[in-house]
Amino acid sequence: MINIKNINASAYKEEFVKNRRVVIDNFLTEEYAEKLYKYYTTEMSKEYWSATYMPSLRYEGDWEWWQNIPGNRYVMEQAYQHACNARDNNLFSYFFYKTMPGVMEKAKSVVYEETMAFFNGKEMIEFINSVTDLEITMGDKTFVSRYAENCFLSNHTDDVNGKLAFVCHLTKDWNPDFGGLYFDLRDKNNIRAINPSFNKLVIFEVTAGVAPHCVTQVVNNSNKERISVSGWYN
């Protein structure tokens, strides 16, 4: 499923050793990328997405989620405003939609199960080890995210989650004016923005807080949604 003919692993490993981050275009085979794109953008029912946010409305210092169903609409609106207030006070915060294992069990989705198996599986881990120097052995906490209008992820590091983070983007025709950009904040004098282009893989080291980053808010008139598979490796 990896478009291995398109990838010079040794060159990417050299780049990773130098920058602790690699961006790979056309990462998946065209057929598999299109399959994931079609499912997560048009075929998967919106009710199987869950609104996830931090800080929690109920549990201090924690995050929380609510399944995207009509009965939860009011509390999700409260959660969004709560996250925005935290962000405006320079606290770590976020609001976006993601797949939650318990909810996805109800969906009985073959594509979702294949997605989790692939990104946590042998082919992916062997590839990650071919382009990094981190000796990865397992995937962890993999999920699919959907950034709809107004979704955001404020400045943070992922060091509590693993050695390496990844994002595989599945959105077509994304305009930077829509927001939803990944910002690498390691050097505040040389901030790099990465557009979530279709079939682009971003991997970056997250040990010891070395990779502060954020995702800018998606504007509310874009009529587009930023879909990606994300997670960590240990």
Please write the tens of the pLDDT for every residue from 10-51. Answer: 999 999 999 999 999 999 999 999 999 999 999 999 999 999
Helix 9-19 / helix 122-131 crossing angle, nearest 10 deg: 60
Chain segment 117-176, per-residue pLDDT in tens: 999 999 999 999 999 999 999 998 999 999 999 999 999 987 767 899 999 999 999 999
pLDDT at position 40? 98
H or E stretch covering 105: helix 101-107
**% of the chain at pLDDT higher than 90:** 85
Residue 43 CB coordination number (10 Å): 10
**Domains along the chain with CATH numbers:** 4-44+110-233 (2.60.120.620), 46-108 (no CATH)
Q: What value does the mean pLDDT of the chain take?
A: 94
Name residues whose C-beta falls within 8 Å of residue 131's C-beta, 6 or more positions apart in sequence. Answer: 7, 9, 12, 13, 16, 22, 24, 203
Helix (H, G, I), strand (E, B) or coil at 122: helix
